[in-house]
A = this chain, B = another copy of it.
């Protein structure tokens, strides 16, 4: 075995230390939330609200025809037996059903087109004020009756610690392919929480991502910090019809409850990062996660 070498440029200092101490901490955000201006598909009021709350909703991003085409592609992918052996595909062992497909914009032409659609990437560029690349993409299939919860977390905490993302200049878009009700595990966000970084305790073990895709433990905010943020900001439940979308800042505190209802949930999830914020060495992990979880290819979406 040779020593691990990387050619990533290591940013100077760690502005957001996490998983390095035995005590949690609440730190102020150091960067703006909105980096761009009026130029783009987002109207000024919505952009101002994104700045304040850390998220925005688009009622109808996809036309009914586009929605149907995405759903057909979703079905096609979930039935592709070859794909089930792909490392990028998460299959539930008990039922042999596909739960997530990562790097879906490289696997599916339909979703590749969706990512570079001006309604999608244009919004990301407007928020981040630069060209952007895809840090991660995936489709999620969340079943009814047995949908499990996803505990509170900031995506940025993981991307910073494990992928080496230096600053908060990334944005996620979740395009809903099914209706989101208050009762079927819709996304919950603490509005305004994106201005506070919760430094987590614990040390990232090797190959942590294998476990964390199923159940996050390291990188989990402590209950006291969560109570402070929830009391200060409250909780918004982001419901909306299929074909709509949610965009949210990389540092929003978010999660979702389980889902015992018969209504399943599917979505396409794309993380855009600014090309001026490319990832280096992880800030708190032995090695970067595989590229399908945190891309090392920083080619801008065009």
Contact = CB atoms under 8 A, between A and B. Distances in A.
Contacts of A226: 145, 262
A55 interface: no
Contacts of A149: 258, 260
A255 interface: yes
Contacts of A261: 188, 230, 235, 257
Contacts of A181: 235
Interface in A134-193: 144-145, 149, 151-152, 181-183, 185, 188
Contacts of A256: 260
Contact of A260 (B144, B152, B182, B262): B152
B257 A183 contact: yes
Contacts of A258: 149, 257-258
A209 interface: no
A13 interface: no
Interface residues of A, number: 26
Contact of A230 (B151, B223, B255, B263): B263
Contacts of A235: 181, 183, 261
B260 A260 contact: no
Given A226-B262, A227-B262, A230-B262, A257 B188 contact: no
Contacts of A263: 230
A259 interface: yes
Nearest to A152: B260
B262 A255 contact: no
Contact of A257 (B227, B255, B259, B262): B259
A137 to B, nearest CB: 25
| Residue from A149, A181, A188, A257 whose CB has the most chain B CB atoms within 10 Å | A257
A237 interface: yes
Interface in A196-244: 223, 226-227, 230-231, 235, 237
A223 B145 contact: yes
Given A183-B235, A230-B263, A257-B260, 6 more contacts: A149-B260, A188-B260, A223-B262, A227-B262, A231-B262, A235-B261
**Closest 9 A-B residue pairs measured CB to CB?**
A182-B182, A258-B258, A227-B262, A230-B262, A257-B257, A149-B260, A149-B258, A257-B258, A183-B237
Interface of A: 144-145, 149, 151-152, 181-183, 185, 188, 223, 226-227, 230-231, 235, 237, 255-263
23 contacts: A144-B227, A145-B223, A145-B226, A149-B258, A149-B260, A152-B260, A182-B237, A183-B188, A183-B235, A183-B257, A188-B260, A223-B262, A226-B262, A230-B261, A230-B262, A230-B263, A231-B262, A235-B261, A255-B260, A256-B260, A257-B257, A257-B258, A258-B258
